[in-house]
Amino acid sequence: MATSSADTKSASVWRNWDFRLFFAGQFVTNLGDSLYTVAVLWLVYDLSGSTVLSGVASSLLLLPWLLQLFAGPLVDRLPLKPVLVSAQIVQGVVVLVLPLAAITGRLSVGVLFMVIPVLTIAAPLMSPMQSAVLPRIVAEDRLSSANSALATVTLGLDMLFDALGGIVIAIFGVTVLFVFDSITFAIAALLFGKITALSADTVKQEREAEATDPLLATYISDLRVGFDALRGTVFIELVVLTAIVNFVTGMTLAILPSFGSLLDGAAVYGLLLGALGTGRLIGSVIAPSFEHVGYGRITFVSYLTTACVWLAAVFVPSTALTIALFGLAWIPPGVNSVLTATLNQTVFPNELLGRVTSLKGTASGGTLPLGSLVGGVVAAVIGTTPTMAVAALGFGVAGLYVLARPRLRQLPAVAGADLDDFTVPTTDVRNAP
């Protein structure tokens, strides 16, 4: 556990110095992620004019969701601080390849496709890492506020820099953008390195010292513990639903450059991404207000609402109204994502969070890159606008499924959740190694 006192951890998250450092580090590193994601996706479509290639690029950028399966056991065993810092350094160094290619006139779709996979290697650690870090630096009754704050800053950056990304490229060029991107990762590494609670992560040090089995055997054993914690629980169905939603989200991200181009070019593409970020930002801010509302009710209402508003956004005749409605459609998913993160941290013990989060993230988020590949191909066959409508219907299908399943529809509020409510096998989880 964190070395800070119980009083400090229980106080407002903004009075917690370690949380503020982690918050600032996430702010800066997500700025970097937002910049290179927008730049890379637009450049691929701009250079090729192909939704298929933009789908491939989007799939590669989303690959970390699939790779979380391999990251979880590492997060649960390795000291958190060195892993956090190293992930930022790797990304900061690799992204410098892109401005060098631009300066020498060698920037192309091929170069982008070579760099993207390397950039994704460090990224899978961040989601299970956040789940594992927060319970060590803030009290349990502050987890929802901490998750909301982190989601707010992440989505706030998405909103700001996604909206301006196309304009930044047009005015300053990709060279300046990618150099600045590299600097953000260096700053994030410095901030993460100053978190004092993680320096005394004795739980991980003891586990590492006790681990005498071969690496592969230990890794498989760790994964098995994570599987055992989830097996036979309601989380399995929730993961399947999230997988469906992430599949259609992946489709959307792949074709959004094309959709923006159909409306009015790079500026609209940036505004659509900004609207997406704004919607999720608003949702993350208001999420703590729904802690005492049934989780099942929140889930089916959010999915159905998103589907209806998204369909309206696709077919309205006004570009401005399309952008506004598309942003509104992402408010419910913003609420749901914060509540889900808090639920994981409330139900599962700290020593399992890395494994459980990575398994859930891989099973559900692994459909993001697949959706991008499919979305690019489908848009090339039936057109971009119809594909956007199909993506909206995916949320509707998920919402109707929850509505039709009493077990899911009646899930309790996050604030009152415990192991028994979600049928998690209490003995197996609490006795995990």
What CATH number did the domain enclosing 28 receive? 1.20.1250.20
Q: Which residue has the tokens 């991980």?
A: 204
Residue ending a domain, choose from 169, 204, 239: 204
Encoded amino acid at 420, one letter = D
| pLDDT of 265 strictly over 90 | no
**What is the pLDDT averaged over residues 280-300?**
85
Q: Which residue(s) pair with 142 in the sheet?
A: none
The confidence score (pLDDT) of residue 168 equals 66
For residue 64, being part of any structural domain is answered with: yes
Same domain, 104 and 170: yes
Same domain, 31 and 141: yes
For residue 11, being part of any structural domain is answered with: no
For residue 304, being part of any structural domain is answered with: yes
For residue 430, being part of any structural domain is answered with: no
Estimate to the nearest angstrom the gap between the alpha carbon of 410 and the chain centroid. Answer: 26
* Alpha carbons 107 and 216: distance in angstroms, whole number: 39
Residue ending a domain, choose from 180, 204, 228: 204
Range of weakest confidence among 135-144, 284-293, 304-313, 341-350: 341-350
What tokens does 94 get?
A: 């690799």
The confidence score (pLDDT) of residue 6 equals 46
The confidence score (pLDDT) of residue 123 equals 64
Same domain, 198 and 224: no
For residue 366, being part of any structural domain is answered with: yes
CB 338 within 8 A of CB 315: no
Same domain, 152 and 279: no
pLDDT band at residue 433, thresholds of 50, 70 and 90?
very low
Q: For residue 200, which of 432, 4, 354 has the smallest C-alpha distance?
A: 4
Q: Which residue has the tokens 């599987």?
A: 227
Kindly tell me the burial class for residue 212, based on how many C-beta atoms sit within 10 Å of its own C-beta (0-12, 13-18, 19 or more): exposed
CB 286 within 8 A of CB 335: yes
Same domain, 110 and 178: yes
Number of structural domains the chain divides into: 2
CB 9 within 8 A of CB 138: yes
What tokens does 388 get?
A: 């956007």
For residue 427, being part of any structural domain is answered with: no
CB 202 within 8 A of CB 53: no
| pLDDT of 205 strictly over 50 | no
CA angle 212, 218, 222 (to 5 degrees): 135
Q: What is the mean pLDDT of the chain?
A: 77
For residue 429, being part of any structural domain is answered with: no
Same domain, 352 and 232: yes
* Alpha carbons 268 and 351: distance in angstroms, whole number: 44
- pTM exceeds 0.85 for this model: no
Residue ending a domain, choose from 156, 176, 204: 204
* Alpha carbons 17 and 343: distance in angstroms, whole number: 24
The confidence score (pLDDT) of residue 4 equals 43
**What is the pLDDT averaged over residues 57-75?**
68
* Alpha carbons 372 and 379: distance in angstroms, whole number: 10
Specify the higher pLDDT residue, 235 or 110: 110
The confidence score (pLDDT) of residue 389 equals 94
* Alpha carbons 69 and 354: distance in angstroms, whole number: 10
pLDDT band at residue 1, thresholds of 50, 70 and 90?
very low
Same domain, 124 and 172: yes
pLDDT band at residue 269, thresholds of 50, 70 and 90?
confident
CB 150 within 8 A of CB 23: yes
**385-404 as b/e, with b when 16 or more CB fall inside 10 Å?**
eebbebbbebbbebbebbbe
Same domain, 290 and 228: yes
Same domain, 198 and 249: no
Range of weakest confidence among 155-164, 211-220, 263-272: 211-220
For residue 105, being part of any structural domain is answered with: yes
Same domain, 181 and 284: no
Same domain, 407 and 367: yes
* Alpha carbons 349 and 395: distance in angstroms, whole number: 31
Tell me if residue 413 falls in helix, strand or coil: strand
- DSSP classification of residue 294: B
Kindly tell me the burial class for residue 421, based on how many C-beta atoms sit within 10 Å of its own C-beta (0-12, 13-18, 19 or more): middle
Q: Provide the domain limits for residue 418.
A: 217-422
Same domain, 226 and 322: yes
